[in-house]
Protein backbone atom coordinates (compact mmCIF):
# COMPACT_ATOMS: atom_id res chain seq x y z
CA UNK A 1 0.00 0.00 0.00
CA UNK A 2 2.78 2.36 1.03
CA UNK A 3 4.68 1.47 -2.11
CA UNK A 4 1.65 1.83 -4.35
CA UNK A 5 1.07 5.36 -3.00
CA UNK A 6 4.71 6.15 -3.56
CA UNK A 7 4.65 4.74 -7.11
CA UNK A 8 1.60 6.79 -8.06
CA UNK A 9 3.00 9.99 -6.56
CA UNK A 10 6.29 9.33 -8.34
CA UNK A 11 4.47 8.81 -11.63
CA UNK A 12 2.90 12.25 -11.41
CA UNK A 13 5.95 14.15 -10.21
CA UNK A 14 6.56 15.49 -13.69
CA UNK A 15 2.97 15.83 -14.82
CA UNK A 16 3.73 17.02 -18.32
CA UNK A 17 6.31 14.32 -18.96
CA UNK A 18 4.00 11.60 -17.68
CA UNK A 19 0.98 12.86 -19.61
CA UNK A 20 2.98 13.04 -22.83
CA UNK A 21 4.23 9.50 -22.29
CA UNK A 22 0.71 8.26 -21.60
CA UNK A 23 -0.61 9.99 -24.72
CA UNK A 24 2.27 8.54 -26.74
CA UNK A 25 1.54 5.01 -25.54
CA UNK A 26 -2.19 5.53 -26.15
CA UNK A 27 -1.66 6.65 -29.74
CA UNK A 28 0.82 3.87 -30.43
CA UNK A 29 -1.55 1.26 -29.03
CA UNK A 30 -4.43 2.76 -31.00
CA UNK A 31 -2.44 2.69 -34.23
CA UNK A 32 -1.33 -0.85 -33.46
CA UNK A 33 -4.92 -1.95 -32.82
CA UNK A 34 -6.31 -0.37 -36.00
CA UNK A 35 -3.54 -1.78 -38.18
CA UNK A 36 -4.00 -5.26 -36.67
CA UNK A 37 -7.75 -5.02 -37.24
CA UNK A 38 -7.19 -4.08 -40.86
CA UNK A 39 -4.84 -7.01 -41.42
CA UNK A 40 -7.14 -9.37 -39.54
CA UNK A 41 -10.15 -8.38 -41.64
CA UNK A 42 -8.25 -8.87 -44.83
CA UNK A 43 -7.30 -12.41 -43.88
CA UNK A 44 -10.83 -13.02 -42.66
CA UNK A 45 -12.08 -12.08 -46.13
CA UNK A 46 -9.77 -14.62 -47.69
CA UNK A 47 -10.70 -17.25 -45.15
CA UNK A 48 -14.43 -16.77 -45.52
CA UNK A 49 -14.19 -17.77 -49.15
CA UNK A 50 -15.63 -21.17 -49.72
CA UNK A 51 -13.62 -24.35 -49.99
CA UNK A 52 -16.21 -25.96 -52.25
CA UNK A 53 -15.99 -23.25 -54.89
CA UNK A 54 -13.44 -23.16 -57.68
CA UNK A 55 -12.63 -20.37 -60.05
CA UNK A 56 -11.46 -21.04 -63.59
CA UNK A 57 -9.73 -18.28 -65.45
CA UNK A 58 -7.46 -17.82 -68.46
CA UNK A 59 -4.10 -19.32 -67.56
CA UNK A 60 -2.18 -16.37 -68.98
CA UNK A 61 -3.70 -13.68 -66.84
CA UNK A 62 -6.91 -12.41 -65.35
CA UNK A 63 -7.29 -9.79 -68.06
CA UNK A 64 -7.63 -12.47 -70.76
CA UNK A 65 -11.02 -14.04 -71.22
CA UNK A 66 -12.40 -17.52 -71.94
CA UNK A 67 -15.01 -18.46 -74.55
CA UNK A 68 -18.56 -19.00 -73.27
CA UNK A 69 -18.52 -22.30 -75.11
CA UNK A 70 -16.35 -23.82 -72.35
CA UNK A 71 -19.40 -23.78 -70.08
CA UNK A 72 -20.90 -27.04 -71.35
CA UNK A 73 -17.61 -28.92 -71.33
CA UNK A 74 -16.86 -27.80 -67.80
CA UNK A 75 -20.24 -28.82 -66.47
CA UNK A 76 -19.69 -32.38 -67.72
CA UNK A 77 -16.62 -32.88 -65.50
CA UNK A 78 -17.26 -35.41 -62.73
CA UNK A 79 -17.82 -33.95 -59.26
CA UNK A 80 -19.08 -30.60 -60.51
CA UNK A 81 -22.50 -29.60 -59.23
CA UNK A 82 -22.93 -26.13 -60.61
CA UNK A 83 -21.27 -23.76 -63.04
CA UNK A 84 -21.71 -20.02 -63.21
CA UNK A 85 -19.74 -17.33 -64.98
CA UNK A 86 -19.13 -13.65 -64.90
CA UNK A 87 -17.09 -10.65 -65.90
CA UNK A 88 -15.51 -8.00 -63.76
CA UNK A 89 -17.42 -4.99 -65.02
CA UNK A 90 -15.46 -2.17 -63.43
CA UNK A 91 -18.26 0.38 -63.77
CA UNK A 92 -18.12 3.77 -62.12
CA UNK A 93 -21.07 5.39 -60.36
CA UNK A 94 -21.09 9.14 -61.15
CA UNK A 95 -17.54 9.71 -59.90
CA UNK A 96 -14.49 7.39 -60.11
CA UNK A 97 -13.88 7.80 -56.40
CA UNK A 98 -17.15 5.97 -55.67
CA UNK A 99 -15.50 2.59 -55.73
CA UNK A 100 -17.44 -0.63 -55.24
CA UNK A 101 -17.06 -4.06 -56.83
CA UNK A 102 -19.51 -4.70 -59.70
CA UNK A 103 -19.88 -7.79 -61.85
CA UNK A 104 -21.87 -9.18 -64.72
CA UNK A 105 -22.96 -12.70 -63.71
CA UNK A 106 -25.25 -15.44 -64.85
CA UNK A 107 -27.90 -14.67 -62.21
CA UNK A 108 -29.60 -17.95 -61.46
CA UNK A 109 -26.52 -20.14 -61.06
CA UNK A 110 -24.62 -17.34 -59.35
CA UNK A 111 -27.19 -16.97 -56.57
CA UNK A 112 -27.29 -20.73 -56.13
CA UNK A 113 -23.53 -20.85 -55.82
CA UNK A 114 -23.41 -17.91 -53.41
CA UNK A 115 -26.06 -18.59 -50.78
CA UNK A 116 -24.43 -16.06 -48.45
CA UNK A 117 -26.09 -13.32 -50.54
CA UNK A 118 -29.59 -13.41 -49.12
CA UNK A 119 -32.42 -12.00 -51.31
CA UNK A 120 -36.07 -11.96 -50.40
CA UNK A 121 -37.98 -14.41 -52.66
CA UNK A 122 -40.12 -11.82 -54.47
CA UNK A 123 -37.18 -9.47 -55.06
CA UNK A 124 -35.15 -12.41 -56.31
CA UNK A 125 -37.88 -13.36 -58.76
CA UNK A 126 -38.14 -9.79 -59.98
CA UNK A 127 -34.38 -9.64 -60.52
CA UNK A 128 -34.25 -12.90 -62.45
CA UNK A 129 -37.05 -11.73 -64.73
CA UNK A 130 -35.63 -8.32 -65.59
CA UNK A 131 -32.79 -8.43 -68.09
CA UNK A 132 -31.66 -4.98 -66.96
CA UNK A 133 -32.18 -5.82 -63.31
CA UNK A 134 -29.40 -5.48 -60.76
CA UNK A 135 -28.75 -6.37 -57.13
CA UNK A 136 -26.83 -4.31 -54.60
CA UNK A 137 -25.58 -5.10 -51.12
CA UNK A 138 -27.38 -3.55 -48.17
CA UNK A 139 -24.45 -1.31 -47.17
CA UNK A 140 -23.92 -0.13 -50.73
CA UNK A 141 -27.60 0.72 -51.19
CA UNK A 142 -27.67 2.57 -47.88
CA UNK A 143 -24.59 4.56 -48.82
CA UNK A 144 -26.10 5.98 -52.01
CA UNK A 145 -29.69 5.97 -50.80
CA UNK A 146 -30.80 3.46 -53.43
CA UNK A 147 -34.22 1.88 -53.19
CA UNK A 148 -35.62 -1.10 -55.03
CA UNK A 149 -37.01 0.17 -58.34
CA UNK A 150 -34.42 2.96 -58.73
CA UNK A 151 -32.66 3.36 -62.03
CA UNK A 152 -28.87 3.25 -61.59
CA UNK A 153 -26.45 4.27 -64.32
CA UNK A 154 -22.85 3.05 -64.30
CA UNK A 155 -20.20 4.41 -66.62
CA UNK A 156 -18.27 1.54 -68.15
CA UNK A 157 -14.49 1.60 -67.96
CA UNK A 158 -13.68 -1.83 -69.36
CA UNK A 159 -16.87 -1.80 -71.46
CA UNK A 160 -17.32 1.82 -72.58
CA UNK A 161 -20.68 3.53 -72.51
CA UNK A 162 -23.48 4.43 -70.10
CA UNK A 163 -25.15 1.34 -68.67
CA UNK A 164 -28.59 1.65 -67.15
CA UNK A 165 -29.87 -0.79 -64.56
CA UNK A 166 -33.01 -1.10 -62.49
CA UNK A 167 -32.32 -2.06 -58.88
CA UNK A 168 -34.49 -5.12 -58.31
CA UNK A 169 -33.16 -6.38 -55.02
CA UNK A 170 -31.03 -5.47 -52.06
CA UNK A 171 -29.23 -8.43 -50.52
CA UNK A 172 -27.98 -8.88 -47.00
CA UNK A 173 -25.10 -11.05 -45.89
CA UNK A 174 -25.79 -14.39 -44.26
CA UNK A 175 -22.76 -13.89 -42.01
CA UNK A 176 -21.20 -10.88 -40.39
CA UNK A 177 -18.17 -11.30 -42.63
CA UNK A 178 -20.20 -11.32 -45.87
CA UNK A 179 -19.40 -8.36 -48.05
CA UNK A 180 -22.51 -6.17 -48.39
CA UNK A 181 -21.02 -3.69 -50.85
CA UNK A 182 -21.22 -5.69 -54.07
CA UNK A 183 -23.26 -4.92 -57.16
CA UNK A 184 -24.14 -7.48 -59.83
CA UNK A 185 -26.40 -7.76 -62.87
CA UNK A 186 -27.28 -10.02 -65.80
CA UNK A 187 -24.36 -11.22 -67.87
CA UNK A 188 -26.78 -11.53 -70.83
CA UNK A 189 -27.41 -7.79 -70.75
CA UNK A 190 -23.68 -7.13 -71.09
CA UNK A 191 -23.19 -9.81 -73.72
CA UNK A 192 -26.11 -8.83 -75.92
CA UNK A 193 -25.10 -5.19 -75.86
CA UNK A 194 -21.56 -6.19 -76.84
CA UNK A 195 -22.86 -8.28 -79.72
CA UNK A 196 -24.30 -5.08 -81.19
CA UNK A 197 -21.51 -2.65 -80.31
CA UNK A 198 -18.22 -4.64 -80.21
CA UNK A 199 -18.98 -8.12 -81.56
CA UNK A 200 -15.44 -9.41 -81.14
CA UNK A 201 -15.74 -8.95 -77.36
CA UNK A 202 -19.02 -10.81 -77.11
CA UNK A 203 -19.40 -14.38 -75.90
CA UNK A 204 -16.34 -13.97 -73.70
CA UNK A 205 -16.29 -14.79 -70.01
CA UNK A 206 -13.91 -13.36 -67.40
CA UNK A 207 -14.09 -16.41 -65.16
CA UNK A 208 -16.15 -19.47 -64.46
CA UNK A 209 -17.28 -20.23 -60.94
CA UNK A 210 -17.62 -23.93 -60.18
CA UNK A 211 -19.34 -25.60 -57.27
CA UNK A 212 -18.12 -29.05 -56.20
CA UNK A 213 -20.02 -31.29 -53.82
CA UNK A 214 -17.19 -31.89 -51.35
CA UNK A 215 -14.08 -29.83 -50.48
CA UNK A 216 -11.77 -32.85 -50.88
CA UNK A 217 -12.80 -33.12 -54.52
CA UNK A 218 -11.67 -29.60 -55.29
CA UNK A 219 -8.08 -30.42 -56.22
CA UNK A 220 -9.04 -33.31 -58.48
CA UNK A 221 -11.78 -31.34 -60.23
CA UNK A 222 -9.41 -28.42 -60.80
CA UNK A 223 -6.90 -30.72 -62.53
CA UNK A 224 -9.64 -32.34 -64.67
CA UNK A 225 -10.95 -28.95 -65.83
CA UNK A 226 -7.53 -27.65 -66.78
CA UNK A 227 -6.71 -30.90 -68.59
CA UNK A 228 -9.80 -30.41 -70.76
CA UNK A 229 -8.47 -27.22 -72.25
CA UNK A 230 -4.78 -27.99 -72.45
CA UNK A 231 -3.38 -27.06 -75.86
CA UNK A 232 -6.53 -25.20 -76.77
CA UNK A 233 -6.53 -21.54 -77.78
CA UNK A 234 -7.34 -20.36 -74.27
CA UNK A 235 -5.82 -22.60 -71.65
CA UNK A 236 -7.39 -22.44 -68.19
CA UNK A 237 -6.19 -22.18 -64.65
CA UNK A 238 -8.54 -23.51 -62.00
CA UNK A 239 -7.99 -22.73 -58.34
CA UNK A 240 -10.01 -22.75 -55.16
CA UNK A 241 -11.76 -19.49 -54.54
CA UNK A 242 -9.37 -18.86 -51.70
CA UNK A 243 -6.32 -19.27 -53.88
CA UNK A 244 -8.01 -17.16 -56.54
CA UNK A 245 -8.62 -14.36 -54.06
CA UNK A 246 -5.10 -14.59 -52.74
CA UNK A 247 -3.76 -14.43 -56.28
CA UNK A 248 -6.11 -11.62 -57.17
CA UNK A 249 -4.77 -9.64 -54.27
CA UNK A 250 -1.24 -10.98 -54.03
CA UNK A 251 -0.07 -7.42 -54.28
CA UNK A 252 -2.37 -6.52 -51.44
CA UNK A 253 -0.91 -9.31 -49.37
CA UNK A 254 2.51 -7.71 -49.67
CA UNK A 255 0.91 -4.50 -48.43
CA UNK A 256 -0.72 -6.38 -45.56
CA UNK A 257 2.63 -7.81 -44.52
CA UNK A 258 4.10 -4.33 -44.65
CA UNK A 259 1.24 -3.03 -42.48
CA UNK A 260 1.85 -5.85 -40.02
CA UNK A 261 5.50 -4.88 -39.79
CA UNK A 262 4.59 -1.21 -39.37
CA UNK A 263 2.26 -2.13 -36.50
CA UNK A 264 5.21 -3.69 -34.67
CA UNK A 265 7.51 -0.82 -35.57
CA UNK A 266 5.05 1.60 -33.95
CA UNK A 267 5.31 -0.37 -30.71
CA UNK A 268 9.09 -0.56 -30.87
CA UNK A 269 9.29 3.20 -31.35
CA UNK A 270 7.09 3.97 -28.36
CA UNK A 271 9.12 1.42 -26.39
CA UNK A 272 12.28 3.41 -27.11
CA UNK A 273 10.56 6.67 -26.17
CA UNK A 274 9.17 5.25 -22.93
CA UNK A 275 12.51 3.63 -22.06
CA UNK A 276 14.25 6.94 -22.55
CA UNK A 277 11.73 8.72 -20.32
CA UNK A 278 12.07 6.10 -17.60
CA UNK A 279 15.86 6.23 -17.81
CA UNK A 280 15.76 10.01 -17.44
CA UNK A 281 13.41 9.70 -14.48
CA UNK A 282 15.50 7.05 -12.77
CA UNK A 283 18.69 9.06 -13.28
CA UNK A 284 17.13 11.96 -11.42
CA UNK A 285 16.16 9.64 -8.57
CA UNK A 286 19.42 7.73 -8.10
CA UNK A 287 20.08 9.79 -4.96
CA UNK A 288 16.72 8.81 -3.54
CA UNK A 289 17.30 5.15 -4.35
CA UNK A 290 20.69 5.39 -2.62
CA UNK A 291 19.04 6.98 0.42
CA UNK A 292 16.50 4.18 0.59
CA UNK A 293 19.25 1.60 0.29
CA UNK A 294 21.11 3.36 3.11
CA UNK A 295 18.03 2.86 5.26
CA UNK A 296 18.16 -0.88 4.52
CA UNK A 297 15.95 -1.23 1.44
CA UNK A 298 17.20 -3.60 -1.23
CA UNK A 299 17.38 -3.86 -4.99
CA UNK A 300 14.02 -5.63 -4.83
CA UNK A 301 12.29 -2.55 -3.46
CA UNK A 302 13.90 -0.28 -6.04
CA UNK A 303 12.74 -2.67 -8.77
CA UNK A 304 9.16 -2.53 -7.46
CA UNK A 305 9.25 1.28 -7.56
CA UNK A 306 10.66 1.56 -11.07
CA UNK A 307 8.63 -1.29 -12.60
CA UNK A 308 5.49 -0.15 -10.84
CA UNK A 309 5.79 3.37 -12.19
CA UNK A 310 6.64 2.26 -15.71
CA UNK A 311 3.91 -0.36 -15.89
CA UNK A 312 1.26 1.97 -14.44
CA UNK A 313 2.09 4.68 -16.99
CA UNK A 314 1.99 2.30 -19.93
CA UNK A 315 -1.11 0.50 -18.62
CA UNK A 316 -2.99 3.81 -18.40
CA UNK A 317 -1.78 4.69 -21.90
CA UNK A 318 -2.66 1.21 -23.16
CA UNK A 319 -6.10 1.36 -21.59
CA UNK A 320 -6.76 4.71 -23.22
CA UNK A 321 -5.53 3.34 -26.54
CA UNK A 322 -7.90 0.37 -26.26
CA UNK A 323 -10.84 2.61 -25.40
CA UNK A 324 -10.06 4.88 -28.33
CA UNK A 325 -9.88 1.92 -30.71
CA UNK A 326 -13.64 1.43 -30.65
CA UNK A 327 -14.75 4.95 -31.65
CA UNK A 328 -11.90 5.08 -34.16
CA UNK A 329 -12.99 1.77 -35.70
CA UNK A 330 -16.56 3.01 -35.80
CA UNK A 331 -15.45 6.18 -37.53
CA UNK A 332 -13.48 4.21 -40.13
CA UNK A 333 -16.48 1.97 -40.74
CA UNK A 334 -18.72 4.99 -41.30
CA UNK A 335 -16.38 7.21 -43.25
CA UNK A 336 -14.69 4.57 -45.39
CA UNK A 337 -17.46 2.03 -45.73
CA UNK A 338 -16.77 1.33 -49.40
CA UNK A 339 -13.31 -0.01 -48.51
CA UNK A 340 -14.09 -1.45 -45.10
CA UNK A 341 -17.65 -2.78 -45.15
CA UNK A 342 -16.91 -4.36 -41.81
CA UNK A 343 -14.36 -2.97 -39.39
CA UNK A 344 -14.92 -4.48 -35.99
CA UNK A 345 -12.23 -4.82 -33.36
CA UNK A 346 -11.78 -8.40 -32.21
CA UNK A 347 -11.18 -9.50 -28.63
CA UNK A 348 -7.80 -10.87 -29.60
CA UNK A 349 -6.78 -7.46 -30.96
CA UNK A 350 -7.72 -5.86 -27.65
CA UNK A 351 -5.64 -8.47 -25.82
CA UNK A 352 -2.72 -7.83 -28.16
CA UNK A 353 -3.04 -4.10 -27.54
CA UNK A 354 -2.89 -4.55 -23.76
CA UNK A 355 -0.03 -7.00 -24.12
CA UNK A 356 1.88 -4.51 -26.27
CA UNK A 357 1.35 -1.78 -23.66
CA UNK A 358 2.51 -4.12 -20.92
CA UNK A 359 5.63 -5.08 -22.85
CA UNK A 360 6.38 -1.40 -23.39
CA UNK A 361 6.11 -0.81 -19.63
CA UNK A 362 8.30 -3.76 -18.71
CA UNK A 363 10.98 -3.10 -21.33
CA UNK A 364 11.11 0.59 -20.41
CA UNK A 365 11.75 -0.34 -16.77
CA UNK A 366 14.57 -2.82 -17.41
CA UNK A 367 17.52 -0.47 -17.72
CA UNK A 368 16.49 2.02 -15.00
CA UNK A 369 15.82 -0.87 -12.61
CA UNK A 370 19.20 -2.37 -13.27
CA UNK A 371 20.82 1.04 -12.78
CA UNK A 372 18.94 1.80 -9.56
CA UNK A 373 19.51 -1.67 -8.18
CA UNK A 374 23.22 -1.88 -8.87
CA UNK A 375 24.41 1.63 -8.09
CA UNK A 376 26.69 1.76 -5.04
CA UNK A 377 25.16 3.65 -2.14
CA UNK A 378 28.14 5.98 -1.74
CA UNK A 379 28.05 6.76 -5.49
CA UNK A 380 24.33 7.43 -5.40
CA UNK A 381 24.52 9.68 -2.35
CA UNK A 382 27.23 11.78 -3.98
CA UNK A 383 24.65 12.83 -6.57
CA UNK A 384 22.64 14.76 -4.01
CA UNK A 385 23.34 18.42 -3.40
Partner 1 sequence: MESITVKPPIVQIRNLSKSYRRGSQDIPVLMDINFDIGEGDFIALMGPSGSGKSTLLNLLAGIDKADSGQIMIGGVDITSLSETELAGWRSANIGFIFQFYNLIPVLTAFENVELPLLLTRLSRKERREHVETALRLVNLADRMDHYPSQLSGGQQQRVAIARAIITDPVILVADEPTGDLDKVSAIEILNFIDRLNHEFGKTVIMVTHDPRAAEKARLIRHLDKGVLSSG
Q: Enumerate binding residues for partner 1 (CB under 8 A).
A: 2, 6, 9-10, 13, 287-288, 291-298, 376-378, 381, 384-385
Distance of CA 29 to the CA centre of its chain: 17
Rounded least distance, CB 304 to partner 1, Å: 12
* Residues 192/163, Cβ–Cβ less than 8 Å: no
Q: Compute the distance between CA of residue 270 and CA of residue 104 in angstroms, rounded to an integer.
A: 48
Rg (CA), the chain: 30
Residue 56 pairs in a beta bridge with 208, 238
Rounded least distance, CB 99 to partner 1, Å: 56
CB closer to partner 1, 234 vs 299: 299
Rounded least distance, CB 294 to partner 1, Å: 6
* Residues 98/118, Cβ–Cβ less than 8 Å: no
Greatest Cα pair distance, the chain, in angstroms, is 97
CB closer to partner 1, 215 vs 298: 298
CB closer to partner 1, 38 vs 302: 302
CB closer to partner 1, 11 vs 83: 11
CB closer to partner 1, 161 vs 376: 376
Q: What is the DSSP letter of 157?
A: T
Rounded least distance, CB 281 to partner 1, Å: 12
From the list 325, 327, 315, 310, the residue with the least C-alpha distance to 362 is 310
Rounded least distance, CB 22 to partner 1, Å: 18
Rounded least distance, CB 323 to partner 1, Å: 28
Rounded least distance, CB 348 to partner 1, Å: 38
From the list 222, 177, 212, the residue with the least C-alpha distance to 342 is 177
CB closer to partner 1, 249 vs 299: 299
CB closer to partner 1, 117 vs 307: 307
* Residues 87/203, Cβ–Cβ less than 8 Å: no
Cα pseudo-dihedral 208, 214, 216, 222, rounded to 10: -20
* Residues 180/173, Cβ–Cβ less than 8 Å: yes
Rounded least distance, CB 307 to partner 1, Å: 17
CB closer to partner 1, 116 vs 288: 288
Instruction: Give 169-204 as a DSSP string.
Output: EEEEESSTTS----EEEEHHHHHHHHHHH-GGGTTE
* Residues 99/144, Cβ–Cβ less than 8 Å: no
Rounded least distance, CB 385 to partner 1, Å: 5
CB closer to partner 1, 121 vs 296: 296
* Residues 74/210, Cβ–Cβ less than 8 Å: yes
Specify the DSSP element, H or E, that contains 261.
Answer: helix 250-284
* Residues 289/303, Cβ–Cβ less than 8 Å: no
Amino acid sequence: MFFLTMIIRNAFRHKMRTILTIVGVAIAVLAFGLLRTLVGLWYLGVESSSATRLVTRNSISLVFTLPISYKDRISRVRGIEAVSWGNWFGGVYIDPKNFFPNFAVEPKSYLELYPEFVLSPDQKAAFLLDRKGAVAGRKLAAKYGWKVGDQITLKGTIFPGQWDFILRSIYRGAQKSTDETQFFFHWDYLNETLKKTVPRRADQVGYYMIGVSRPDQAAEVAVSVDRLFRNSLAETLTETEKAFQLGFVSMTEAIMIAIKIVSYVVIVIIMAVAANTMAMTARERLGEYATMKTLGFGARHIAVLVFGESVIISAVGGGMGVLLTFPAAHWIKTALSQYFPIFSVSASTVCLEMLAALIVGVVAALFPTWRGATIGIADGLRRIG
